[in-house]
Amino acid sequence: MLNSATDDFKQKLRGLLPQECFKELTKSYLEEPRGQLFGSGGLLLAPDNTEDVTKIVKACSDARVGIVPYGGGTGLVGGQIYSEGLVPVILSTQRMNKVRSIWIDENIILVEAGSVLKDIQDRAESAGCLFPLSLASEGSARIGGNLATNAGGVNVVRYGSTRDLCLGVEAVMPDGSIFNGLSRLRKDNTGYDIKNLLIGSEGTLGIITAASLKLFPRPEVESAALFVVRDPRAAIDLFAMCRDKFGNGLNAFELINGVGLKFLSEVGPKVRQPFSYDPEWIVLLDVGFNYGIDPEEVLEKLFIEAEGRDLVSDGLVAQSLEQRLDFWKIRESIPEANHRIGAISSSDLSVPISLIPEFITKAGKLLSKVGDFRINCFGHIGDGNIHYNIFPVKGENREIYKDKSRIVNNILYDLVDQLEGSFSAEHGIGRLKVNELCRYSDPTKFKIMKNIKSALDPLGIMNPGVIF
């Protein structure tokens, strides 16, 4: 049984921590971005070093007070919001935002957990390198949260998810001990991989305080294209062509549904629409090369070959950096347009890439039996991650569909399970998908996870209510 962070507990912490650690609790710390969870209170602490994190965790362990780690607050499954009634410690990493070291000859940067993702990207760029993790929320998301949720983003097809970009972590464990795992080694075969246990654990096994991250050479030339494709099957065939022709030169491959383009016209954000008509399906592909390859020429040749195979019917190839950014602005604005319309159901799904067309077809047919919806299906087709979002028909309020939200989710998750996919591709479990984890997990996997949680956090103080 956990306890609240009482006034007496707060006074005890004041004797251990500098005044700067204590912050005013504002509304932003108590509300999930999509408005699905609300916290009732908390003691907000913002340490600026690992030693103070240790003091906080030890005090919470002694008093059996729950700890909710808080990065940029951009998570979409409620992992950063405690709504169970007790008053937890909300541990913000906002002041732990330093770049500790950078080794250009090793392509490694060592950063603290509160570093904003965009700042890491900029620091890498100033050193002539690339940190390729890229998300719509990169201007506010913090790397500790990215690691805790194993964030994906748009460049997974080339560089992998956050897990693949990390060599080592430093973390404070539930008993207050420090795991000093800030390795710079590419090879280290010495027992269990604690780093990869902590990455993706959503703050339930420890608090990541710093990480050593991989940097990459920046491609000499990059470009992007928007191609109108016949259907999702044609998009998969086009992706296979790109993979075979470009190899690691393919940065990203995104599927965009015409409904998303209509939403942008209807509610914004304002973007430059790429075509004078409304195509049903388009793909955004982004490439980067070295050694004098002309990306525009390569993309134009790709279009000609794909058109000859009846995969594409129209297309645009960026002729400048500004046009490339315009193409990406379309894709990156779709989530905000979805938010403005107001979804009945927002799903973060993955299925084997070859089964994406089957999933889209079957999901549409199954949902048509439940009601009349607008469906905006888009996402990272290069890694099988589809964001399948369902909206009221135009002119209707989503509140009248409330009773259908759970039915819709069950239909989608059951279908994904049948296709050997995942109901959570990149957002994690948090507090919003705990029931789904219980329902769809392999029983042995779930048992192992519970055993790990019990072994490392027997008091259950680390982000209580998340995952379990």
pLDDT of residue 135: 92
* 163 assigned to some structural domain: yes
331 with 364, same domain: the answer is: no
- Number of folded domains that form the chain: 3
Measure CA of the first residue to CA of the last residue in the chain; give whole Å.
Answer: 15
Strand (E) or helix (H) holding 339: helix 321-341
In a domain, residue 53? The reply is no
DSSP calls for 377-413: EEEEGGGTEEEEEEEPPTT--GGGGGGGHHHHHHHHH
Are residues 149 and 113 part of one domain? Answer: yes
Length of the chain: 468
- Among 200, 217, 234, the domain-final residue is 217
State the residue range of the domain holding 349: 343-424
Considering the domain architecture, whether residues 139 and 247 belong to the same structural domain is answered as: no
Hey, is 231 helix, strand or coil? coil
The pLDDT assigned to 136 comes to: 86
Give pLDDT, residue 35: 85
Instruction: Tell me whether residue 457 is in a domain.
Output: no
Residue 443 lies in a domain: no
* Residue where a domain stops, chosen among 319, 341, 363: 341
Q: List per-residue pLDDT tens for the chain, 468 residues long.
A: 999 999 999 999 999 999 999 999 999 999 988 888 899 899 999 999 999 999 999 999 999 999 999 999 999 999 999 988 899 999 999 999 999 999 999 999 999 999 999 999 999 999 999 999 999 899 999 999 999 999 999 999 999 999 999 999 999 999 999 999 999 999 999 999 999 999 999 999 999 999 999 999 999 999 999 999 999 999 999 999 999 999 999 999 999 999 999 999 999 999 999 999 999 999 999 999 988 899 999 999 999 999 999 999 999 999 999 999 999 999 999 999 999 999 999 999 999 999 999 999 999 999 999 999 999 999 999 999 999 999 999 988 888 888 899 999 999 999 999 999 999 999 999 999 999 999 999 999 999 999 999 999 999 999 999 999
Burial class (CB in 10 A: 0-12, 13-18, 19+), 297: exposed
CATH code, 349: 3.30.70.2740
Boundary of a domain, candidates 292, 316, 341: 341
DSSP characters for 254-276? EEEEHHHHHHHHHH------SSS
Domain at 189, CATH number: 3.30.465.10
In a domain, 64, yes or no: no
Residue 213 and residue 111 share a domain: yes
Tens of pLDDT, residue by residue over 28-64, are: 999 988 888 899 899 999 999 999 999 999 999 999 9
pLDDT at residue 234, as a whole number: 98
Q: Residues 121, 186: one domain?
A: yes
The total of other beta-carbon atoms located within 10 Å of residue 423's CB is 22
> Is residue 441 situated within a structural domain?
no
- Is the same domain home to 315 and 265? yes
Residue 304 falls inside a structural domain: yes
Q: Which two tokens stand for residue 182?
A: 């800030």
- 324 and 365 together in one domain: no
